[in-house]
């Protein structure tokens, strides 16, 4: 008999991706287990790439907050709850650990509700809304925390092997024609202090030129597009990609020889696709939320400043890959 589990992990991109290895663990450990997944609408493509997910239930809390009490938003919220409650689940796992996920979503789902206890959750009050509370130490990587939560919730032993995102195969049939003939540079992130300087990006681009590799620059907003144009200016081996969906960017990443990235969600997507990646860290610490998986490399500024990282340092690491 199929065991049906609802996952509540709504955002951000990195957090959603960090949940995937736990699904793989559970699928290997529990016979006939299947998952539905509540996720923010902007990231709804990601769970669908995993073989164990049947239904993705998009939620729009980020958008709803802008007009929470409008008639349109109220109607949309009601449709979401109606869809959420169609299925009786054997277990509901809130892997977000926030008040909004616990109060607005998890408590309204049908099934035994599992989540982090007050010592483990990012927001301890969230634990009030769970039927079964689990302790998971905070001093381990985010992927391992979710893997442990799933193992505790579904009563199986946590595997000792490194977690498997299990989404790379999804893209094997759609790899680009120029597979592994190019690099991808992920230069965009949400915080200004996590950006690498444009001068150093261009210096790295120049160092790559003699290798014969092309460089592809994805972007997601107008100012990111403008930065891409500035980085590519006067370099014939650099391509500014057209506006792309998350699945299209994933396909580009899956076909790359290697990736250089700042601390951003797409860097975690690169890790999930098992592509060689060098991630640059300034003010953020990769110990708990850095790149997890095969072929993931970190270049960390001792001064905690992106401005101190030099293109020559990055190229030395990249040369070992390409």
Per-domain residue ranges of the chain = 3-166, 170-319
CA distances from residue 275 to 25, 159, 184, 200 in whole angstroms, order as listed: 21, 23, 11, 23
Q: How confident is the model at residue 238 (pLDDT cuts 50, 70, 90)?
A: very high
Q: How confident is the model at residue 295 (pLDDT cuts 50, 70, 90)?
A: very high
- On the question of pLDDT at 130 being above 90, the answer is yes
> What is the distance between the terminal CA atoms of the chain, rounded to a whole angstrom?
48
Residue 228: per-residue pLDDT: 98
Domain pair 3-166 / 170-319, same fold: yes
- On the question of pLDDT at 94 being above 90, the answer is yes
Residue 158: per-residue pLDDT: 96
CA 291-294-300 angle, 5° bins: 35
What per-residue string of b and e applies to 200-230 under the rule 16 or more CB within 10 Å gives b?
A: bbbbbbebbeeeebbbbbbbeeeeebebbee
CA atoms within 13 A on the CB side of 225: 7
Determine the average pLDDT of the residues in 76-88.
98
- On the question of pLDDT at 132 being above 90, the answer is yes
Residue 37: per-residue pLDDT: 98
CATH no. of 3-166: 3.40.50.2000
Residue 50: per-residue pLDDT: 98
- On the question of pLDDT at 277 being above 90, the answer is yes
- On the question of pLDDT at 1 being above 90, the answer is no
CATH no. of 170-319: 3.40.50.2000
Chain segment 142-158, per-residue pLDDT in tens: 999 999 999 999 999 99
Residue 172: per-residue pLDDT: 87
Q: How confident is the model at residue 26 (pLDDT cuts 50, 70, 90)?
A: very high
Choose among 6, 271, 242: nearest CA to 112.
6
pTM of the model: 0.95
Side by side, the strands of the sheet bearing 277-281 are 238-240, 214-217, 182-186, 258-262, 277-281, 296-300
187: preceding bond cis by omega (within 30 degrees): no
Residue 173: per-residue pLDDT: 84
């Amino acid at each position: 008999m199929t065991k049906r589990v609802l996952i509540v992990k709504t955002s951000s991109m990195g957090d959603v991706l960090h949940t995937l290895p736990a699904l793989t663990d559970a699928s290997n450990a529990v016979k006939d287990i299947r998952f539905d997944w509540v996720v923010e609408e902007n990231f709804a493509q990601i769970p669908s790439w995993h073989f164990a997910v049947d239904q993705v239930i998009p939620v729009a809390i980020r958008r709803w907050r802008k007009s929470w009490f409008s008639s349109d938003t109220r109607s949309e919220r009601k449709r979401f709850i109606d869809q959420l409650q169609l299925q009786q689940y054997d277990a509901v796992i809130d892997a977000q650990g926030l008040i909004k996920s616990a109060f607005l979503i998890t408590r309204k789902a049908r099934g035994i509700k599992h989540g982090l206890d007050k010592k483990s959750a990012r927001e301890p009050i969230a634990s009030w809304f769970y039927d079964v509370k689990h302790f998971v130490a905070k001093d381990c990587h985010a992927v391992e925390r979710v893997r442990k939560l799933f193992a505790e919730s579904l009563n199986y032993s946590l595997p000792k092997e490194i977690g498997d995102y299990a989404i790379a195969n999804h893209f094997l049939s759609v790899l680009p024609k120029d597979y592994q003939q190019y690099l991808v540079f992920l230069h965009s992130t949400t915080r200004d202090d996590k950006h690498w300087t444009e001068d150093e990006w261009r210096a790295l681009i120049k160092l790559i030129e003699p290798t014969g590799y092309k460089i592809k620059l994805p972007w997601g907003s107008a100012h990111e597009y403008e930065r891409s144009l500035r980085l590519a200016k006067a370099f014939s081996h650099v391509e500014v990609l057209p506006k792309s969906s998350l699945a299209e960017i994933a396909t580009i990443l899956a076909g790359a020889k290697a990736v250089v990235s700042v601390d951003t969600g797409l860097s975690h997507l690169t890790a999930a696709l098992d592509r060689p990646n060098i991630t640059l860290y300034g003010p953020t610490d990769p110990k708990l939320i850095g790149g997890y998986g095969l072929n993931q490399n970190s270049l960390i500024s001792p001064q905690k400043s992106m401005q101190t990282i030099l293109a020559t340092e990055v190229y030395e690491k990249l040369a070992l890959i390409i």
